[in-house]
Structure 1
Amino acid sequence: MGPDTFGPYALLLRRRGLFAACLVLVLIALLVMLSEHAPVQSTDTLATPPPPPSQSAEAIVTPAKDIDPLGPKHTLHGSPTASFRDNLLPQHKYITSWLSAGWTNDVYTYINLIYLGLITDRIPIVPMFIPSHVGGHVPPIPFGEVFDVPRLRNEIGKSVLEWRDVKDINSTEIDDIGCWNVWESVQYREAFPRRSRIPDDLNLDISYTKTPEWIKMIPNYEHDQHVTFWSLATLAFPTTRKASLVPPLPSPKHNVSLPPDEHLLCYDYLYYVSAHQPFEMEYDYVSLDSLSQCSPAWRYVGTHMHWTPTLEKIADEYIRKALGVADDSSIPPFISLHIRRLDFKVWCNDVPIDECFAPLSVIERRVREVQDEITKRTGMIVPHVLVTSDERSPEWWHDVAKQGWFSPDHTDTKEHYGEWYPVLIDAVIQSRGVGFVGTDRSTMSIIAARRVEDWSNGPHRLVKWGTKDADDH
């Protein structure tokens, strides 16, 4: 043995070897323990192929959102057809009517038509507007060029169609149809259905059946022509329809006699329709009496009939120009006015015009009332006043300007946009005020007041007229 066999160095080597051996034994023990407790993988799992590679973002296609889920493609067979019947779906029922009044009254009529569609669970088919206020030489204008129909559908949650969706406007095919004659049952001067040019425009040959006399809201009262919504609605259902049938009038073109159509229900005239009282749309926003809060047609339809974006944009141009606002600047709040004079002169009878209509000083007092109410409600001061009127007197308009009020310039409106647009632009302007002053007993003023109230939470006043000092208060 060498001298270091039992020396310190040899002892150190032996200790290191012992430590290494112990470490190896510990590692072996750990491996044995892990192998005993490891889960056993089934043969099924081992046989399962790996999942396919995930799709790339480009390969995932998200269906486009249907922005008009209640539109024509969901409630008609397809594009407009030569005969309206070829486009109606058997699983749906429809309703329509015609016009025979001034433009704003015609708006009321279509509000009533659409509401009647709601309560009878039928799809309204709305005709065009006819130019009763601008002359028969002017073509009709589609409902959907004035009002935003897709928005209306979405807001009321109900399909609303136009006749141009259903029947080809260039079709020469004449469709026979049976309709209800309401007009003859509610007034005692005309022994025939309410006349309208729309059936001829749509190439419809109508056989009318007179409605029962019990539909009249105020029986045997010759000074009112109103019916209730539900008296008309009952005729849409089998029991009352069957009990109310009488021999129909032959149609004027084909001389056919048809009962009221069950697939496309139609009435001759729906302007004089209310739920509770005559002309209730006028009183719904005036009185706080609960009995006067009764215009469901306005609440559920009319307030949702907004202007088309195109018409809004055109009106914006006129408002900016009138107020002297740059194109890239926002429009300041203003009070809108509708002062109706020209076509109301006939109702003045023997009263001189200057006494029949309120002077501008009286209207200015009403404007101040609205301005003060806005300030009290919101703290906002609204100095701008924008006037619309059918008055043609240059002197009268000069006096309007002396009040510091503004007005839209319609000098070139007809040339640029057409005969319809002066009244349409004025209607939009009236509805855009944060407050409104209008003319008592004018449906154009009444509906403008409703819009300002609902769309801008704005106050309004209606100026009385007809006798001297009629609006004194």
Structure 2
Amino acid sequence: MRDSTSVLKTLSSRRWLAALVVSSVLFVLGITSTSLWDSELTHCVSHSLAGSMPHAAVYSSTQNVDAAKQKPSSKFDTATLLLKGTASPSFRENLRPDVKYITSWPYEGFTNQMIAYMNLVYLGLITERVPIIPRFTSSRHTTSDTPDLDFGEVFDIPRLQEAINLPILQWSQVKDPDSQFVDDLGCWNTQNSIFYSSDRNFHPPGSLKLDVSYTTAPEWIRYPTELQHPTFPHALLWALASLAFNDSRTWTPREPDISPTHHVALPPDDHLLCYDLLYYAGAHEIFEYNYDMSPVWRFVGQHMHWTPKIQKIAESYTRETLGIAGHAPISPYISVHARRTDFEIWCNGVTTKDCYVELSAIARRVEDVKAELLARKGIQVDQVIITSDEKDPEWWDAVGELGWRQPNHSKTVELYGPWYPPLIDKAIQSGSLGFVGTDRSTFSSLSLRRVRSWNDGAARMVLWGTRGADDH
């Protein structure tokens, strides 16, 4: 066994041959996509076998797809093949010596955490490592005492693994969430490099009980200066990926920082490669998730579908909102996300009344979406579901005058928990044929991507910041 990633390339004989044929002809983004798992571990091979990278599929509305035509989710149990056993007190006790892994930490709100995890999985693809994804942690959409949420409670991991040919683990599978044992770990600090700072240390969630010694990554992980964002500089994903290989590690002479608990200085771990933060990263553009060409979206994000549980709940809320009885088919609708109460920092002295996204502008973009759907698909869509963090009753009265409807979340937390109001809203939006969102909101950005990728839908973003910002 010459390579520690080799255990991921074990295939049954027929699929082994099929994968080998595909690997000889298919290249995506300049690399060969890798099939890292199959139905059983039978032997180890020394080099990665390439499989077909998922094509950017176009789906009809998730509510109207014939279930019989959907490919069933794989029941492949990754943990039994990629770990020594069930979650252990120390993560190192559970990692197989013949498998390499990669991880990172959550950042800010749910959607930003999701984007960081999309980047993590993409890095797993291009470095041929198994991503270990942390839980979602409480954010601005939940209270501080909200329990953390497993990635697999939100997204259909078997379906994702099958779509991208990459096994995925969750930290709760690797280390017992109730363990009090503190593991030492050497990680890369990317933020001190891209922000030219010496004190931006992002720590893993406390539930992981990790004592991290950081090594500042080399400055060449940054985007070129002419492409950088002045406030939020980004790292290049392929530069970050290069740190997974020994050739790049020889270019980084910096000494590790001392860890806060055990006061140890550890170089970046090779067995479990980790980065402090992966939100500010892209392949070609800053905030790349806003673009159709984003490789992270095309090869990872669009395949992150909701769990059947969340999908079923969202369809129930959609029917209730639109007044559809029982299990009758859901007719096409347009969804709106109007974010209005927490962007004051971006108003630059403009009053919030003049700064925040205007209802009249949203209404114009809804009409644009209706016109596109009629012209492109021949479908007249009149029903609109709106979600917003706005609390002003007069604003909502004006929404009502437009004939738009909003989901009733009065009992959602009681029934499902504090994570579910925003999760249901996201799933409702992703099931729409048209979408209108708020510019600079990651919540809106990913809903727009889902509507376009999954439903071949029409979508617009509304500009804001000054009165009349979207008058064009």
- TM-score between the two structures when normalised by the length of structure 1: 0.81
Q: Spell out the pairing of 1:216-365 with structure 2 (5 A cutoff).
A: 216-219=222-225, 223-282=231-290, 284-285=291-292, 293=293, 295-365=294-364
Question: 1:70, 1:154 within 8 Å by CA — same for their partners in 2?
Answer: no
The offset of 1:169, in angstroms, is 1.2
User: For residues 399 and 71 of structure 1, what CA distance do their matches in structure 2 show?
Assistant: 50
User: For residues 103 and 264 of structure 2, what CA distance do their matches in structure 1 show?
Assistant: 20
Percent of aligned pairs with the same amino acid:
48
The residue type paired with residue 179 of structure 2 is S
Alignment-derived partner of residue 122 in structure 1:
129
The offset of 1:243, in angstroms, is 2.6
User: For residues 280 and 414 of structure 2, what CA distance do their matches in structure 1 show?
Assistant: 35
The offset of 1:464, in angstroms, is 0.5
User: For residues 444 and 410 of structure 1, what CA distance do their matches in structure 2 show?
Assistant: 18
Q: Secondary structure at the match of 1:214?
A: helix
The offset of 1:352, in angstroms, is 2.7
Question: 2:340, 2:357 within 8 Å by CA — same for their partners in 1?
Answer: no
User: For residues 231 and 74 of structure 2, what CA distance do their matches in structure 1 show?
Assistant: 46
Alignment-derived partner of residue 112 in structure 1:
119
Alignment-derived partner of residue 162 in structure 1:
170
Deviations 1:274-300 (A, max 9, x none): 111211221x23xxxxxxx3x111110
1:212 and 2:243 are equivalent in the alignment: no
| C-alpha spacing 1:87/1:197, structure 2 compared with 1 (3 Å) | closer
User: For residues 412 and 303 of structure 1, what CA distance do their matches in structure 2 show?
Assistant: 30
Deviations 1:209-267 (A, max 9, x none): 11111111134965342011111111100111133142111111111111110100000
Alignment-derived partner of residue 35 in structure 2:
none
The offset of 1:95, in angstroms, is 0.1
Q: Secondary structure at the match of 1:125?
A: strand
- Higher mean alpha-carbon deviation, 385-394 vs 67-76, is at 67-76
| C-alpha spacing 1:121/1:96, structure 2 compared with 1 (3 Å) | same
Q: Secondary structure at the match of 1:338?
A: strand
Alignment-derived partner of residue 63 in structure 2:
none
Q: Spell out the pairing of 1:374-413 with structure 2 (5 A cutoff).
A: 374-413=373-412
User: For residues 390 and 306 of structure 1, what CA distance do their matches in structure 2 show?
Assistant: 24
Equivalent pairs counted in the alignment come to: 399
RMSD of the TM alignment (CA)?
1.8
Q: Spell out the pairing of 1:41-190 with structure 2 (5 A cutoff).
A: 67-69=74-76, 71-133=78-140, 134-188=142-196, 190=197
The offset of 1:66, in angstroms, is 10
Question: 1:100, 1:194 within 8 Å by CA — same for their partners in 2?
Answer: no
- Consecutive unaligned residues of structure 1, counting only runs of 5 or more, are 1-62, 286-292
Question: 1:77, 1:89 within 8 Å by CA — same for their partners in 2?
Answer: yes
Question: 1:209, 1:245 within 8 Å by CA — same for their partners in 2?
Answer: no
User: For residues 320 and 232 of structure 2, what CA distance do their matches in structure 1 show?
Assistant: 44
Q: Secondary structure at the match of 1:330?
A: coil
Question: 1:193, 1:268 within 8 Å by CA — same for their partners in 2?
Answer: no
User: For residues 67 and 316 of structure 1, what CA distance do their matches in structure 2 show?
Assistant: 23
Deviations 1:33-69 (A, max 9, x none): xxxxxxxxxxxxxxxxxxxxxxxxxxxxxx9x99433
User: For residues 230 and 197 of structure 1, what CA distance do their matches in structure 2 show?
Assistant: 23
Task: Say which one has the larger Rg.
Answer: 1
User: For residues 326 and 461 of structure 2, what CA distance do their matches in structure 1 show?
Assistant: 32
The offset of 1:329, in angstroms, is 1.2
Q: Secondary structure at the match of 1:462?
A: strand
Question: 2:146, 2:418 within 8 Å by CA — same for their partners in 1?
Answer: yes
The residue type paired with residue 255 of structure 2 is P
The offset of 1:70, in angstroms, is 6.2
User: For residues 66 and 405 of structure 1, what CA distance do their matches in structure 2 show?
Assistant: 35
User: For residues 371 and 455 of structure 2, what CA distance do their matches in structure 1 show?
Assistant: 16
Q: Secondary structure at the match of 1:236?
A: coil
1:458 and 2:465 are equivalent in the alignment: no
- Higher mean alpha-carbon deviation, 124-133 vs 82-91, is at 82-91
Q: Spell out the pairing of 1:427-438 with structure 2 (5 A cutoff).
A: 427-438=426-437
User: For residues 411 and 433 of structure 1, what CA distance do their matches in structure 2 show?
Assistant: 22
Q: Secondary structure at the match of 2:342?
A: helix
Deviations 1:139-180 (A, max 9, x none): 111111111111111110110110011111111111111001
Alignment-derived partner of residue 17 in structure 1:
none
Alignment-derived partner of residue 18 in structure 2:
none
Higher helix share: 1
The residue type paired with residue 95 of structure 1 is I
User: For residues 195 and 238 of structure 1, what CA distance do their matches in structure 2 show?
Assistant: 24
The residue type paired with residue 308 of structure 1 is T
User: For residues 361 and 132 of structure 1, what CA distance do their matches in structure 2 show?
Assistant: 30
The residue type paired with residue 188 of structure 2 is W
User: For residues 77 and 185 of structure 1, what CA distance do their matches in structure 2 show?
Assistant: 35
Q: Secondary structure at the match of 1:243?
A: coil
Deviations 1:18-39 (A, max 9, x none): xxxxxxxxxxxxxxxxxxxxxx
The offset of 1:320, in angstroms, is 1.2
Q: Secondary structure at the match of 1:460?
A: strand
Q: Secondary structure at the match of 2:211?
A: strand
User: For residues 336 and 435 of structure 2, what CA distance do their matches in structure 1 show?
Assistant: 6
The residue type paired with residue 362 of structure 2 is I
- Consecutive unaligned residues of structure 2, counting only runs of 5 or more, are 1-39, 41-71
Alignment-derived partner of residue 32 in structure 1:
none
